[in-house]
Every structure is written in C-alpha cells, then in structure tokens.
Amino acid sequence: MRIGIHVSIAGGMKKAAARAVSLGCETMQIFSRSPRGGAARPLTEHDVQDMHRILQEADIRPLVVHAPYFLNAAAKEKATWRAAVEIISQELQRAATLQAAYLVIHCGHNEDAEQGLVRTQTAVMEAFTVADVSGVALLLENAAGMGNEIGFRFRELGALCHSLRKESLPVGLCLDSCHAFVADYDFTVPEGWQNMLNEVEEYCGWETVKLIHVNDAVGKAGSRFDRHAALGKGEIGGKGFKNLFSHPVLGQLPAVLETPRKSEQDDQENLEFLRRLRQEIRKGRHH
C-alpha cells in the first residue's frame, strides 16, 4: 500500500509536488484545475517537468488527477451533459500531459438511475474519443447516495465499468471508504464487511479496483451523508480501516487521503494514522 494525500496545486504543479514530498507521501492526488469552475489554466512545460523531476526523485507514484466535482455526466439536461463530456475530455488530456496514471470522476446525479448510468457511459465513451490520449485510466468513484446520486451501489458501478471495458476503454473503480460506509456497506461489522466484499467480487471483480480514497465518515452507516472526517475520529474508526487494509487486494492498492484540513498538521496526523495501521497489519502477518 502506497500512502498519500490530495495536495493543493496553489502556486503550480512544482509546488504541489514539493508539498507531497514535505508530507512524506508515496502517492498523491491533485485537481488539475479549480474544482469550483472556470476555464482551466494552461499547463506549462517547465512546471510539469519540474513536477516530474521532484516526484521521480522522491519515488511518489502513481499520480492521480481528480476531475471537478461539479461535472454531471449522468445529467439529462443536454447542456449540462455536454459540458461534462467536454470537461472529462479536457481532464483526460491534462492528466496525460501530467503523466498521471488515473483520472477519477463521480458519475453525477439523475432522478432516473438507469438513465443516469446510460448517460454516464455515453459521456465517458465520447470523452475518450474527443481526448484521443493513451496511458491514463479513468476511475469511476462510488458515491455516498445523497439526493439523486447514481453509482453508490457496486452492482451499478460494476455494470457500468464492464460495459466501458467491453469498448476497450481503460476504465476501473476508485473505492471511497466514507462513501461506501454511508451508502450502507458497514464494513466495521462482519455481516456488512462480507456484504461489501461479495458485491465488489460479484459485480465488479477485484481487477477493476485500482485506488482507495481513505476517509472516515461523519455520518452513520446507511445515512448517505457525504461528509469526510479525520481518520479514527468518525463512525468508521480504526476497526473498519483495519478490515479494509487487511484485505489481500485492497491492502495493496494506492491509498489517498481526502480528509478535512485546517493546517498541515491535520494532514500529518492523518498520514501517520495510516502509516501506523499499515505497520500493525504487517506485524500481524509476520506473527
């Protein structure tokens, strides 16, 4: 398991890489643009090269880009859907320029879940056609299930992922611990843990899961309340994360924190929690 965090790109990509190094990251995630909207700033060659030099020297990999939250690939409104296709295609191109391994997207929302999944599939297929890039895999992130969010059930995500892979598109899944928990996969208890494992295995296949977003949850299991908490300070707690990272597949995946932060100390504490947990699990295997 390579441990990292979502790092700010304020000041450019070189500074983002330097922040990841100072935090002791082994992997990292960024936005390639402001997640609040507006036109994306051009990526300058020198800044990208400097970023790569820093990441290579520190052996920080993989680099993950997260698409802006506001895009809605499942939208039934044509203009909203078209904007999502455009942004996903741009983000694929920007991720390729940055030599990122993964681009993470949320499917979005639609009152009709079935229609929403079809709209998302079409959006992703069109975005890949427009982007015309290679080397970047697109990861669909499981949602919390707030409002009309789609893709909070692994059977939905798995079906969508397999449909896209049949089109020879490099698509996989990003498992968010907070979202899974509040969507009623209570992996802190044996029955809920087994239920989640069964669904992922049956509908997705372990080979599709490429990345974990490690977040504790403010909301209780099944609440569908999408708010992240610091590790060990939410409803998931140490036991739930120990289950996740003791799993033979999940425990080997890159793990990115998206925990709340008021200062760099918050980031350090969350990273340290995950390092300690990794050490405990390794010791347990050797005994």
Does residue 287 surpass a pLDDT of 70?
A: no
More confident residue, 38 or 1: 1
30 residue type, one letter: I
* Among the four given CATH numbers 2.70.98.30, 3.40.120.10, 3.40.50.1110, 3.20.20.150, the one describing domain 3-286: 3.20.20.150
Mean pLDDT of the chain: 96
pLDDT in tens, 259-269: 999 999 999 99
DSSP 182-227: HTT--TTSHHHHHHHHHHIIIII-GGGEEEEEE-EESSPTT-----
**pLDDT average, residue stretch 132-154:** 97
Does residue 214 surpass a pLDDT of 70?
A: yes
**pLDDT average, residue stretch 99-103:** 98
Q: What is the pTM of this model?
A: 0.97
Q: Which helix (H) or strand (E) holds 88?
A: helix 78-97
pLDDT in tens, 217-226: 999 999 999 9
Does residue 33 surpass a pLDDT of 90?
A: yes
What percent of the chain lies above the pLDDT cut of 70?
99
Question: Which DSSP letter does residue 62 get?
Answer: -
Backbone angles phi, psi at 216, to 5 degrees: -75, 170
